[in-house]
Structure 1
Amino acid sequence: MSWVPRNLSIYCPPNSVLSVCQPPILMFVTLVANLFSHSEDSYPNEDIEKEYDFIIVGAGSAGCVVANRLSEVKQWKILLLEAGIEEPEVADIPSFMATVAGSNIDWTYRTQPEKQCCRSRLGRSCAMQRGKVMGGSSTINYMMYVRGNRRDYDEWAEEGNRGWSYEEVLPYFLKSENNRDPQIVEDNPLYHNQHGYQSVQRFPYTDINVEILLNAWQELGYELVDINANNQLGAMNLQTTSANGTRQSTNGAFIRPIRRKRRNLTVKTETYVTKLLVDYKTNRVIGVEYTSANNRTKLNTVFAKKEVILSAGPVNSAKILMLSGIGPREELEKYGIQVVSNLSVGRNVQDHPGMYGLLTALNFTSTSQNISIIEDISTYEKTHRGPLSAIGPGTITAFLRTMSQPEDSVPDVQVFFIPSSHDDFLNNPNEYFDVPVEPFSYYDAISIIPVILKPKSRGYILLNASDPLWAPPLIYPGYFSNSNDLDVLADGIEITLKLFDTESFKKNDFTLINKPLHPCRQFKFGERDYWKCAMVEYTSTIFHLVGTCKMGPKSDPEAVVNERLKVYGVDHLRVVDSSIMPKIVRGNTNAATIMIAEKASDMIKEEWLSDGI
C-alpha cells in the first residue's frame, strides 16, 4: 500500500489484523496524506560541490542541530547529508506517530534473535525503529521531552569525561529550549528557557484518561513534578517537542527556519554515505563517499577541509565507522577492511527494555468510534486542535524507585501508557505487540509499559556478512542478559500493579486483562515468575538505543571518542549523536541527544575559530 503524497509508504503484512490496513482507518490515512502533503519541490535537492568546510552525515536529532549552529559562522560552508526523504507532512500530526513507524521513513531495523529476549515477537526479534528522514528519529518518536537525571551526567564526568557534569550540560539544554508553557517556566525558571530553536510544549488537547492516570499515581503517593527540574521522582503529563498541536522535529526546529536563508548551508536528501575517505598516510578523514537513492552503483566523493561529523545515529554511525576501517580489528579483518583505528565500535549497546503484557481494558475513551474520524481530521486541518493534536494517554509517565535502590537514590523504572486495542491483544498478541497501528486518538485499552532506566545488560552491533554495505547491520541488544534487570523490572511491575487498587481506576472501570500470555501459561498470572517469563517472551523497547561509539578517556578500552567527541586514532573526525553516551540516561533520549549536539557545536567553534582558521 503506497501513499502517493510525499513518497510516504507503509507495509501491511499478509492476513494482517492491523486495523490501519482496513477501512475506515485506511480511508482516514489516505485523507490525511492528501490533505497535509506538500509538493516534492518545496526544497530542491541541492547540487553538491566538491569541497566544504564541514560535512555532517545524518540529519537527525543531532545532525540538524549541528548544521544549524555551524552555519551560523558565515564564512564556513556546511554540507548536511541525509539518507532519507524530506519530512512528510503527515509526520507532523502527533496522533499519527505510530503509523509512520514502519513506513519508508523508518530504517525498519530488527534485533537479532537472542534466547533471553523478544522470543515470542515476530521473527523472534524486536523492532528497532530509527528515523530515515529529515529530522531522523525526532520525526517518528513519541515527542516526549525528558532530559534524564542529574546523576546521569555527573556519572559521565566521574568516569573521566571532563565538561559533561550536570551543571556543565544544563546550559546546553536551556540553549535549545523554547518553552511555550509559561507556568512551567515560572515554576522552575532555573531549568527552562524560552528563546531556543526547539519548541517544547504540552499538547493543546488533553485526553479524558490523562487525569484518571495522574490521580491514580497521586493516590499511591507520587507527586506531580516537573521531571526536567530538580526532582525526577513522580508523575507528569509531559511536555513534548511540539508547537501548537504539531510535531516539531529537529528538522522543523533547526533546519526549516534557516534552510532558504543561509547560503552557506547545503542539504542533500536521499544520499547514502557508504564510507569515510581516509588519508592512510596521516590517518586523517578528508571526506565521504556516497551514492544517491536513484543510482546506487555510482560512487561519488565530497571533501571536507576541516572535519567530517558523523551524526547517523547509534546504528548507522557504528556501521559507517566499521566500513571505513574504524572498529574492532577482528570484525574488520573478516571483510578485508583495512584497519585505520582498532576501537570498540558497536560495543556497549544499551537501551531501556521493558515488557508488554500489562493491558488495561476501558469501558470508555474520549474518541473510541471511527465515525468521529472524518470530523476530527477536518477539525485538525482547520485548527490543529482536537484528538489528533495529541497522543491519547501517551504523554503520561511516572518515574519510580524500586526496593532494589537505596532510599535516597534516583529512579530506576519509568512507566509509559500506550493507547491500544483490546481485540487485537486477545486475537493475535504477536502482531499486537509488534506494531501499534491506529492513530493514537482511537483506542479501547491502554498498554502499561514499565522499562528499566539503568540496565546492567549490554549488547553489540556487527556488520552483516551477507552484504556489509547494504544489508542491515546485526543488532544484538542483549536485553536481560544480566539477570539483575529481570528483578528490577519485576519490582517495577509490582509497584505499577498497585494502580488497580486505587479509587481512580476502580470508579472508572480500569480493569487488568488477566488472560495469561500463551508462552507463559505454566506460571500463574501475576506471580513474579510469570512476569519474568513475559519479559523474555514479549520484550518491549521504546527505541532508546545508545552507546555504540562510547565517550571515555583513552585509558578506557571501550572508548571510541574522547570528551570532545573526537574519534581516537583518527584526525578530523567526530561522532555527535546518542551513540557517544557512555551510560544511558534515566529517561527518553531525544532531549539529551539535542544537548550533545549543542555542546559539540560549541566545542567545534571554539577549536576552529580560536585557531583563526
Structure 2
Amino acid sequence: MIFGRTFIIFIYFLFVLFFGLILRFSHIFSDFCETFHPPDNKQTYDYIIVGGGSAGSILANKLSRNGIDKVLVLEAGKNTIDLLSIPSISLLLQNSPYDWKYATVPQKNSCLGLNQNVSLWPMGKLLGGTSMLNNMLYVRGHKEDFNEWFKDKEDYYYSDVINYFKQIEDLLDVSDLAFSTELSDIVFNAAENLGYSILHCNYDSKLGFNKPKATLNKGKRWTSADSLKQLHRNNLVIRTSCLVEKILFRSNFEAYGVKFKFLNKNYEAFAQKAVILSAGVIGSPKILMLSGIGEKTHLEKLGIEPIVDLPVGNNLQDHLTTGLDLVLLDHSLNIGIEQMLSPFALLEYFLKGSGPLTTTGCEVMAFLNTTKTHTKPDIQFMIMPLGIKEDNGYYLRTLMGISDNVWSNYFAKIPHKSLTILPVLLHPKSRGTVRLASKNPLDQPLIDPQYLSDPRDVAVLIEGIELIKKLISTKEFKSFGAEFNQVIFPGCSNYIFDTKDYWECYIRHLTITAYHPIGTCRMGKTEDPTTVVDFNFQVKGTNKLYVVDGSVIPSLTSGNINGPILMLAGMAADALSKINYLSTKTCDFMDVFLRENICCV
C-alpha cells in the first residue's frame, strides 16, 4: 500500500513537471509567433478595452455587436490553448507564465502560518483572465448585496440586475456539475437532519445547502472569452501580449488613447469614444495611478505628476477562509490523484465530457447566517472531497504558501485522508489598499488586504468552525468515518484546544484567500469622496475614461464574484452605448439648453 502510494505520487510529480514544461513551451512559442504579427501603431478605434478577462470580453462582445464601432482589446497575457479548458487543470496554471503571481505584503494580524506571513494571489495572465484559473462556480449573490451597491442610484431597480444576470447565463452555458462523488448525499442528509433547507437551485445565495452551478460547456471550462473568440467580427480586434502602461490624456482630462508595450517595443492606440480599463482589481488601479490618477500624496512621493486626486487603491476587500483538513475520513470518496491520472479519466473526458477531470473541486455549497437573525448569509461553506494533504505536500501547499514548519508539524501528522469544508467569510469588515511600489510599470504593486485587522471578522469565522463541528457530528458523517481533526496547530499550543482563544490563534495562522478581491476603484455617487467611478462607470474628473471590472464593486457579494462581475460588464456596455449615442447626436441650441447634462457634438 505504501509502495503503491509512493509510486502514484512519483507519477504525479512527473505529470506536474511535464505540464509545467508544456506551459512554458507554449508561452515561448506564442512569443515567437507574435513577432511576425505586431500590432498596428497609432491606429484609431471607437473603443479600447484594456484586459480580455471576464468583464473585458463581455464589453467587447456587446460593444462590437452593431458591426460598426471598431473595438480593440489589449490583453497583457497570451491566448489560451485547448488543454487549458480541462477544468481540473486550473491549479497547474498557478505560478506559471499564465499567472500574474501577485502576493501581498507581510500581514501583521493574519497569515502567520504562511511563508513570510504573505498571502499568494494568483490571477490569470491570459485571454479569459482569472476565469481561466477559478473553480467556475456561478453565484449571483443576495438581493441585499445589490440594494446596498445602488442605494444612491436614482433609477435603480433590482429587476434590471436580474435581467443582466439572465443575459450572462444564456451566454455562458451556466450548468449543473459534470462530476460529483457521494459526498453531496452525505452532506445533504446531515444538513437536513440539522434543520437546514436543501435548495435544488440557489442562484441568489438563499440560506441553505445546494449543489453549485458552474460555467461549463460539455464538461469544458467556458468563459466569456470563449464566447468572444467565436464571433469573428471584422470590427473587433483582439491583441495579446500587449501590456498597457499609461492612459493618454488631452489637456481637458479627456482620455484619447493608451501607451502599451508589445514584446518590449512601445506602441500607442487611440480611441474616439472611450478607453475602458478591465484589467482587474490590481491592474486597473495600477494603470490609473501610473497615469496620474490616484491619491495625490502617494503619486507625488513616487515622482508621478497627479492629474486627478481620487482614492484609487483604497477599499480593498477579499473573501477569506480557513479550516484546511479539519475533517478526517477513514473511507475513500473515490476521487484523488489516482483517479485523476487514470487513462480511463482521460478517455471519459475526451469522449463524453465527464468524469473526474471535469471536477470544479467544490461539490456542495452552503449559505448560512451565524447569528440566525438575518436572511442574508455571512458564511459560505465550500465543501470539497479532497484535502490539501492529497499530494503529500508536493505541490498543493506551495500554491497557498504554507510554511515548512506548519506542514511538518501539522498537516504531515494528520493520520487519515481528509475532506475540505471551508468557512468563507462573506462580508469582512477589514479593508486594505493597493499602492504602487514605484513608477516602473513592470514592478509588482504593494497589495495589503489587512486581513483580520477588524476582530469582528475572526468572530464570524469561529462561528463557521462551530457549524462545521455540528455538521460532522451527525450520524451521516459518523457512519462514513468522519472525525474532527484534533492535531494542535503550530504556534497555538499555549491555548486549550477547541476554545475561542485557540480558534482565534488558528485562524490568524491559517488565513487563506478565497481569491475574490474587489473594490479598489469603488463605484458610487459622484459626490461621495470614497468613490473613484460614478454609476456610469466613468472615472470622476475625467472624460471618456471608464473602469469596468471587479475593482468597481463597492462591497463583497454573498458568494463567488465572477457572476456579479459579468453582470456589471453587461450593464456597463449598455450604459456606454447609451452615453455615446446621446453624445454624438446633432443638437440644436434648445436641445443643449434643455439637456445641458448631455454632451452634444
TM range (shorter): 0.7 to 0.9
Closer, same or farther in 2 for the Cα pair 1:428/1:275, shift >3 Å?
Answer: closer
Equivalences for residues 132-211 of structure 1 within 5 A: 132-158=125-151, 160-178=152-170, 197-211=171-185
Q: Does 1:273 align with 2:272?
A: no
Aligned residue for 1:186?
none
Matching of residues 278-297 of structure 1 within 5 Å: 278-279=249-250, 281-292=251-262, 294-295=263-264
Task: For 1:378, give the aligned amino acid.
Answer: L
The corresponding residue for 1:389 is 358
318, 324, 337: which is aligned to 2:291?
324
In structure 1, what is the Cα distance between the partners aligned to 2:19 and 2:311? 48
For 1:569-605, what per-residue CA distance to the aligned partner results, in whole angstroms no more than 9, with x for missing partners?
1110000001111111111100000000000000111
Give how far 1:609 is off. Answer: 2.2
The answer as to whether partners of 2:258 and 2:268 remain within 8 angstroms in 1 is yes
Matching residue's letter, 2:357? L
Structure 1 SS opposite 2:45: strand
Shift of 1:212: 1.8
- Aligned-partner SS, 2:564: helix
In structure 2, what is the equivalent of residue 9 of structure 1?
none
| Unaligned segments of structure 1, at least 5 residues | 1-17, 179-196, 437-442
Q: 1:230 to 1:270 in 2, by over 3 A?
A: closer
Amino acid at match of 2:473: D
Aligned to 1:242: 216
Task: State yes or no: 1:73 paired with 2:69.
Answer: no
**Letter of the aligned partner of 2:284 in structure 1?**
S
* 1:468 to partner: Cα distance: 3.7
State the distance in 1 between where 2:397 and 2:220 align.
31
Q: 1:382: how far off?
A: 2.4
Q: Distance in 1 between matches of 2:7 and 2:127?
A: 28
Q: Which residue of 2 aligns with 1:51?
A: 44
Measured in 1, the distance between the counterparts of 2:127 and 2:216 equals 16
Tell me whether 1:345 sits opposite 2:312 in the alignment: yes
CA contact (8 A) 2:202 2:210 kept: no
Please give the secondary structure, in 2, of the residue aligned with 1:414. Answer: strand
Deviates more, 1:423-432 or 1:453-462: 423-432
Aligned length: 560
- Kept in 2, the 8 Å contact 1:46–1:268? The answer is no
Cα distance change, pair 416–43 in 1 and its aligned pair in 2 (3 A): farther
- Does the 8 Å CA contact 1:172/1:598 hold for their aligned counterparts? yes
Q: Residues 398 and 448 (structure 1 numbering): CA distance in 2 closer, same or farther, change over 3 Å?
A: same
Provide the rounded CA distance (Å) in 2 between the counterparts of 1:227 and 1:456: 29
Deviation at 1:358, TM superposition (A): 4.6
2:425–2:461 contact (8 Å) kept in structure 1: yes
Distance in 2 of aligned mates of 1:429 and 1:62: 29
Judged with a 3 Å threshold, the aligned counterparts in structure 2 of structure 1 residues 527 and 423 are, in CA distance, closer, same or farther, namely: farther
Q: 2:107 aligns with which of 111, 114, 124?
A: 114
Letter in 2 for 1:237: K
Query: Partners of 1:271 and 1:21 in 2: how far apart?
Result: 39
3-state SS in 1 of match to 2:447: strand
* TM-aligned CA deviation for residue 165 of structure 1: 4.6
Segment drifting more, 557-566 vs 98-107:
98-107
Q: 1:23: how far off?
A: 2.4
Task: Indicate the residue corresponding to 1:3 in structure 2.
Answer: none
* Mean CA deviation greater in 197-206 or 470-479: 197-206
| 2:15 match | 27
Other structure's SS at 2:342 match: helix
Task: Verify the 8 A CA contact 1:176 1:595 in the aligned structure 2.
Answer: yes
Greater alpha carbon shift after TM alignment, 112-121 vs 136-145: 112-121
For residues 180 and 395 of structure 2, the distance between their equivalents in structure 1, rounded to whole angstroms, comes to 30
Matched, 1:251 2:217: no
- The answer to whether the 8 A contact 1:490-1:532 is kept is yes
Instruction: Say whether residues 1:314 and 2:287 are aligned partners.
Output: no
Q: 1:610 to 1:554 in 2, by over 3 A?
A: closer
Quick one: distance in 2 between partners of 1:376 and 1:514? 35
Contact 2:141 2:203 in 1 (8 A): no
Superposed CA deviations along residues 201-255 of structure 1, whole A, max 9, x for unmatched, are: 11222223222222222222221225645661011110101111110022113x1
How far does residue 28 in structure 1 lie from its aligned partner after superposition? 7.1
The 5 A counterparts of 1:175-574 are 175-178=167-170, 197-226=171-200, 228-229=202-203, 232-253=206-227, 255-258=228-231, 261-279=232-250, 281-292=251-262, 294-295=263-264, 298-362=265-329, 363-368=331-336, 370=338, 373-392=342-361, 394-403=362-371, 407-418=373-384, 419-422=386-389, 431=398, 433-434=400-401, 444-465=417-438, 468-574=440-546
Superposition map of 1:85-124 within 5 A: 85-124=78-117
Alpha-carbon distance in 1 for matches of 2:20, 2:283: 31
Q: TM-score, normalization: structure 2? A: 0.87
CA deviation after TM superposition for structure 1 residue 421, in Å: 4.0
CA distance in 2, matches of 1:456, 1:606: 36
Q: Match of 2:412?
A: none
Distance 1:275 1:582, change over 3 A: same
Question: Partner of 2:454: helix, strand, or coil?
Answer: coil
Question: Is the Cα contact below 8 Å between 2:290 and 2:441 reproduced in 1?
Answer: yes
The C-alpha deviation readout for 1:356-375, integer Å capped at 9, x for no partner, is 34522232121346276222
CA–CA distance in structure 1, aligned partners of residues 580 and 434 of structure 2: 33
The one-letter code sitting in structure 2 at the alignment partner of 1:409 is T
* C-alpha distance in 1 between matches for 2:530 and 2:558: 21
Distance 2:462 2:93 in 1: 32
Instruction: Provide closer, same or farther for how the CA distance between residues 482 and 28 of structure 1 changes in structure 2, counting only shifts above 3 A.
Output: closer
Q: Could you say which residue in structure 2 is the equivalent of 1:12? A: none
Amino acid at match of 1:174: K
Structure 1 position 31, deviation (Å)? 7.3
- Is the Cα contact below 8 Å between 2:424 and 2:461 reproduced in 1? yes
Q: Which has the larger radius of gyration?
A: 2
Residues in 2 aligned to 1:516 and 1:348: alpha-carbon distance in whole angstroms: 35
- Structure 2 runs not aligned, ≥5 long: 1-5, 404-415, 586-601
**Do 2:8 and 2:337's aligned partners in 1 also have CA atoms closer than 8 Å?**
no
**Deviation digits for residues 40-77 of structure 1 (CA, Å, limit 9, x no counterpart):** 57999573351111000000110000000000021110
Cα distance in 1 between the residues matched to 2:369 and 2:82:
39
TM-score (norm 1): 0.85
Q: Helix, strand or coil for the counterpart of 1:519?
A: coil
Displacement of 1:430 in angstroms is 6.5
- Counterpart amino acid of residue 576 in structure 1: V
Deviation string, structure 1 residues 523-553 (Cα, Å, up to 9, x no partner): 2232211111111111011111000000111
Q: Is the 8 A contact 1:358 1:449 kept in 2?
A: no
CA shift digits 1:83-103 (9 cap, x unpaired) = 011123232111222222222
Distance 1:376 1:602, change over 3 A: same
Aligned partners of 2:355, 2:541: CA distance in 1, in Å? 53
Distance 2:284 2:574 in 1: 21
* CA distance 1:275–1:427, change in 2 (3 Å): closer
- Matched residue of 2:245: which SS? strand
1:28–1:373 contact (8 Å) kept in structure 2: no
In 2 relative to 1, CA 61–432 (structure 1 residues): closer, same or farther, beyond 3 Å?
Answer: closer
Which 10-residue stretch deviates more, 200-209 or 596-605? Answer: 200-209
CA separation of 1:346 and 1:360: change in aligned 2, threshold 3 A: same
The 2-side partners of 1:231 and 1:111 are apart by: 29
One-letter amino acid of the structure 2 residue matched with residue 169 of structure 1:
V
